[in-house]
Amino acid sequence: MRIDRLRLFDVSLPLVHGFETSSHRKTGINHLLIEATDREGRVGWGEIASPADPYYGAETTETAWSIALRYLVPASLSAEWDEPEELESAWSRIRGHEFAKAGFSIAAWDLHARAAGLSLASALGGTRIDVAAGVSLGIEPSIDDLLVQVERQLAAGYGRIKLKIAPGWDVDPVRAVRRAHPDLDLHVDANGAYPDSPETTAIFRELDAMRLTMIEQPFAPRDFVSHSALQRSLDTPVCLDESIVDLGDLRTMLALDAGRVLNIKVSRMGGLSVARRAHALAAEAGVPVWCGGMHEFGIGRAANVAISSLPNFTLPSDVSGSDKYYARDIVTPPIVAEAGRVRVPTAPGLGYEVNADWLREHSSRVFDSAAGNTGSTIERLTA
């Protein structure tokens, strides 16, 4: 297989409800979408779900755009491949930039699955017909506002709620939600916002008493030692997210007992192939996994649904319906959750189609590797 043409779209969509974490608040999402066309005319789609700002990690939309055009596009257009892993090896020399790589990985897997007449889930080895979905709720102006959001998501059928926490917004809001919903599958996510200190340990011991499913990423990404020490002092499993960028990080987590649950994000780990390998390594170690989200549009969300169909994704994943975040998504039909579960598509590839007119309407710029006789171009549009 060979990719003959690549187009990149810089797309923005407003969120239906603003979302605040320990680092910042956002009211809209800006991601890059990849259209890869092979020599037979088949099209695969990928999504670079890097945030616009360098708060979750070092990558941003702008760095991803630059790395994609300078390195990943030429590598993808020059490679002959039969399996997605072979194409991914074409950019293996590039250090970091996992979000950018992940977008191209998803497009390659979509193309591969479509060529084979398989759903993406089947191509990856998935076994489920549907996956359990959870929702992530940001920091709200007040505890009462948070409780309203929790009720709204429970009414929509979601059975697992993740709460973002930060210093000053932790014990009280979590206690309020637990009191209102004693049996709720509830966990918290700090996005690495806490210092390793006796005061922090005291906060997490209070949270430990609230019967949480997990406490996600309390400390900075590279601080495996502090995570290990905290895990030894808690009954609640620590889950690592930002800390696990590659399989070496996962092996470190396992060796130090720095976490007992793994959040696998396709984007954070550089694509579907490495996410699948992380799933297998965690399964071998007896560590349960779930799929985290980055407010993906339908393309990235469909990839997350597909990877979540693998057998060791035993905890609800952040694959809620498109309507949780967007009034109208890029794909048709929209991804929907029914009674807190999302169906795994059986159609070839991602199982969803991209609305080309809607995509172009919300794109601020488009790169085309084969724009007429002039070669590759960047077209600037009005989003």
- Mean pLDDT for back-to-back runs of 10 residues, the chain (383 residues): 96 83 77 96 97 92 97 96 96 96 98 97 97 94 96 94 96 98 97 96 97 98 98 98 97 98 97 98 98 94 97 94 88 92 96 91 93 61 54
Q: Is 35 left (phi over 0), alpha (psi -120 to 50) or beta?
A: beta
State the Cα–Cα distance between residues 377 and 232, nearest whole angstrom.
Answer: 55
Active site positions, annotated: 164, 265
Class of the 123-351 domain? alpha beta
CB 319 within 8 A of CB 303: no
As beta bridge partners, residue 263 has: 290
CB 28 within 8 A of CB 12: yes
What SS3 state is found at 127?
coil
As beta bridge partners, residue 19 has: 26
Structure tokens at 319: 């694959």
State the Cα–Cα distance between residues 359 and 203, nearest whole angstrom.
Answer: 45
Give the burial string for 150-180 (b: 16+ CB within 10 Å, else e).
Answer: beebbebebbbbbbbbbeebbbebbeebbee
pLDDT value, residue 27:
80
State the Cα–Cα distance between residues 268 and 116, nearest whole angstrom.
Answer: 27
pLDDT value, residue 23:
62
CB 269 within 8 A of CB 246: yes
pLDDT value, residue 383:
43
Q: Is 255 left (phi over 0), alpha (psi -120 to 50) or beta?
A: alpha
Q: How far apart are the first and last CA of the chain?
A: 34
pLDDT value, residue 379:
72
Backbone dihedral angles phi then psi of residue 121, each to the nearest 5 degrees: -60, -45
CB 231 within 8 A of CB 224: no
Q: Quick one: DSSP state of residue 318?
A: S
- Span 272-328, pLDDT tens digits: 999 999 999 999 999 999 999 999 999 999 999 999 999 999 999 999 888 888 888
- Distances in whole angstroms, Cα of residue 155 to Cα of each of 141, 252, 359: 21, 40, 31
Contacts of 89 (CB under 8 A, 6+ apart): none
**Other C-beta atoms within 10 Å of 59: how many?**
21
> What angle (nearest 5°) sits at the alpha carbon of residue 46, between those of residues 45 and 51?
145
- Span 244-280, pLDDT tens digits: 999 999 999 999 999 999 999 999 999 999 999 999 9
State the Cα–Cα distance between residues 49 and 171, nearest whole angstrom.
Answer: 31
Q: Where are the alpha helices (DSSP H) in 209-316?
A: 224-233, 247-256, 266-269, 272-285, 298-307
Q: Which CATH superfamily does the domain covering 3-116+354-380 fall into?
A: Enolase-like, N-terminal domain (3.30.390.10)
The owner of tokens 């900075």 is 220
Single-letter amino acid code for the residue at 193: A
Contacts of 197 (CB under 8 A, 6+ apart): none
What residue ranges do the domains of the chain occupy? 3-116+354-380, 123-351
